[in-house]
A and B are shown apart, each in its own frame.
Chain A
């Protein structure tokens, strides 16, 4: 049973390009969460998705950032027209359901560097 898989592990983009980060949840998990970790800072919630639905995007910047979790395939976090301030580690977590006692499992993260 593979864990949460994120790819790529490292991504370098020039300013103005688009970054697409992928997250495949654990088998049987239909809830996905994205978090951002800026250098020397703690993790911050970005968005919570269930299959085909965005449940909570209160932590996501209003512009340039979008997320989806289609019926088939991985969840995608998309950053358009990247800027240097987007350089961070982006972590995905998945859980079986939204029950408060259900543990979320984290992926290895994607480290985005904007040059």
Chain B
């Protein structure tokens, strides 16, 4: 079992829909990072959070440390939101920190 699990693995939505991507983890973490990767593209940071909720534009990220769960929400989805969304947890061991990545959620938003 992966230390970081994302669901769903694939998601197709119609433009305008509200989208939720979930991330569950089984290890102790310092923080959690949501990343976006377009096909053939680089990786863009969306949010880094260790508690509560953050909002940026149409994107909202929440985390529940006790339940070891985070969600990424996209409101009023648009075809340009089509990408792979990656959840990564930051684990601190021996004074260094490491990213442990989920396998990503592939989102396709249809016009």
Chain A residues engaging chain B, CB cutoff 8 angstroms: 33, 35, 41-45, 48, 55-56, 91, 93, 98, 100-101, 103-109, 111
Tell me the interface secondary structure of chain B in the complex.
Answer: strand
Complex Cα spacing A101 to B42, Å: 22
B42, A107: Cβ atoms under 8 Å?
Answer: yes
**CB < 8 Å: which of B50, B90, B92, B99 contacts A43?**
B99
A56, B99: Cβ atoms under 8 Å?
Answer: no
Which residues of A are found within 8 Å of B102, using beta-carbon distances?
Answer: 42
Most chain B C-beta atoms within 10 Å of own C-beta, residue among A33, A43, A48, A93: A43
Which residues of B are found within 8 Å of A108, using beta-carbon distances?
Answer: 41-42
**Cβ of B21 < 8 Å from any Cβ of A?**
no
State the 9 A-B residue pairs at the shortest beta-carbon distance, nearest first: A108-B42, A100-B30, A106-B43, A42-B103, A43-B101, A42-B101, A103-B48, A100-B92, A100-B97
Complex Cα spacing A42 to B99, Å: 12
**Cβ of B59 < 8 Å from any Cβ of A?**
no
Using C-beta atoms within 8 Å of the partner chain, give the interface range for chain B: 20 to 34
Which residues of A are found within 8 Å of B100, using beta-carbon distances?
Answer: 45
A56 CB → nearest B CB, Å: 6
A98, B42: Cβ atoms under 8 Å?
Answer: no
Which residues of B are found within 8 Å of A103, using beta-carbon distances?
Answer: 33, 45, 48
Complex Cα spacing A104 to B41, Å: 17
Query: What does the 1/0 interface line of B77-111 toward A look like (CB < 8 Å)?
Result: 00000000010101010011111111110000000
B50, A101: Cβ atoms under 8 Å?
Answer: yes
